[in-house]
Amino acid sequence: MPEPSPTSKRRGRLVRIGAAVAVLLALAGYLSVQYLTGGTGGPGCKVVSGKGDGASYEFTPEQGVNAATIAAVGTGRGMPERAVTIALATALQESGLHNIQHGDRDSLGLFQQRPSQGWGTPKEIMDPAYAAGIFYAHLAKVPGYTRLPLTVAAQRVQRSGFPQAYAKHEPDATLLAAALTGRAAATLTCQGRPGATRTTGPDAVRAALMRDFGRDVVQEAGAEVGDGGGSSPAPTPAGSSGTSDSSGTSDSSGTPDSSGTSGAGGRTVTLPVSAGTAAAGIGARQRGWQLAHWAVANASALHIDRVSYAGREWTAGITDSPWRSDGAGGAGGAERDAGAVRITTGR
């Protein structure tokens, strides 16, 4: 076989170099997409046990949004934490907590509910809040469901061909339910990398709160929106536009945003929490942690930078961001403990 010419060798090297560059560019593009979308293809959130036993569960921002909706709808209907655990375990088994548009026969959504079996229209079932609500409505009709094994309770609602499959999700669902009902404080964290959505700012946060918790969470709690001024913001009626853009100012707490600069467009929705606004069976402090964890779970979707409650603060970051002391003690601590959840958006 003749020896390749110098020209052929150079051409071969150029081809190999070009292929290597293409691979590197593809990898860089993939990593960029993962960062910009909050890494929705892999875990970006984590919940840990409040008992200090080391138990934990990692999940994606998309799963976090859906789990937070399921929990919010459950407590809004006055359902106990056990009901939320059953609902979350069911959704983990049926859809992996993804709102999927396909399934066995005509099954759809988080719980794989079937329009042909009277669960609702396809449009209704694809609404996570509706799907969770109709699941709880059926679960509430199961006598003594809180005392039944999870597999039995879930099966009496779902009538699955594989009822025992729900059991494997009970530990993870238990951790999620404890955090997302607010019982286990400061146990849910997310990276908070911005997702590929344009629904940002306080209006988007308020709309999402009303979607999951109902209008009362904004109206009766007297939700406020800060535009970066130094004075306390005035209450903002639900459905109004809140504030104008506050680019270049600090948020209502007067502290720098997560980028390290003062303001950069940060705006804060403040949700006072009191016994009068707590969900049925949930005290004010637990309700506050439910709202705080809900905000963290929605951080990527709503571009939330910071969540503060009860002297603790979560700040979005590239890595898993823990809850830390906000460093503000003194007389203000009592006010924070009484309950005011502050949700700051800045992107």
Q: What is the pLDDT of residues 160-207, one digit of tens each?
A: 888 899 999 999 999 999 999 999 999 999 998 887 666 678 999 999
Residues 147, 149, 150: CA angle, nearest 5 degrees: 110
Contacts of 82 (CB under 8 A, 6+ apart): 145, 146, 177
**Residue 121: which pLDDT band, with cuts at 50, 70 and 90?**
very high
Tokens of 183: 């019982």
Q: How far is Cα 312 from Cα 334, in angstroms, rounded to an integer?
A: 13
Q: What is the mean pLDDT of the chain?
A: 78
pLDDT tier for residue 59 given thresholds of 50, 70 and 90 = very high
Tokens in use for 148?
């039944």
**Band of the pLDDT at 266, cuts 50, 70, 90?**
low
Q: Is 335 exposed, middle or buried (0-12, 13-18, 19+ CB in 10 A)?
A: exposed
Structure tokens at 298: 């929605």
* Closest alpha carbon to 194 in 101, 305, 278: 305
Burial of 117 (0-12, 13-18, 19+ CB in 10 A): exposed
- Under the phi-then-psi rule, with left for phi > 0, alpha for psi from -120 to 50, and beta for the rest, what region is 303? left
Smallest CA-to-CA distance from 270 within 216, 343, 321 is with 343
Name the residue with tokens 């999700």. Answer: 169
Tokens matching residue 173:
């669902």
Tell me if residue 181 falls in helix, strand or coil: coil
230: Cβ contacts below 8 Å, ≥ 6 apart: 254
pLDDT computed for residue 245 by the predictor: 33
pLDDT at 297: 97
Predicted pLDDT at 4: 59
Place 241 in a pLDDT band, splitting at 50, 70 and 90: very low
Q: How confident is the model at residue 235 (pLDDT cuts 50, 70, 90)?
A: very low
Buried/exposed code over 241-272 (b: 16+ C-beta within 10 A; e: otherwise): ebbeebeebbbbbebebbeeeebbbbbbbbbb
| Strand pairing category for 267-272 and 324-325 | unpaired
Amino acid letter at 226? G
Rg of the chain over Cα atoms, rounded to whole angstroms, equals 23
Instruction: Specify the pairing of strand 267-272 against strand 224-226.
Output: antiparallel
Residue 64: burial class (beta carbons within 10 Å; 0-12, 13-18, 19+): buried
Rounded mean pLDDT of 51-69? 96
- Residue-wise pLDDT for 17-53, tens only, equals 665 555 454 444 333 333 333 344 567 999 999 998 9
pLDDT the model gives residue 160? 82
Q: Which of 32-46, 167-181, 227-241, 332-346 has the highest mean pLDDT?
A: 167-181
Q: What is the pLDDT of residues 1-10, one digit of tens each?
A: 556 565 665 6
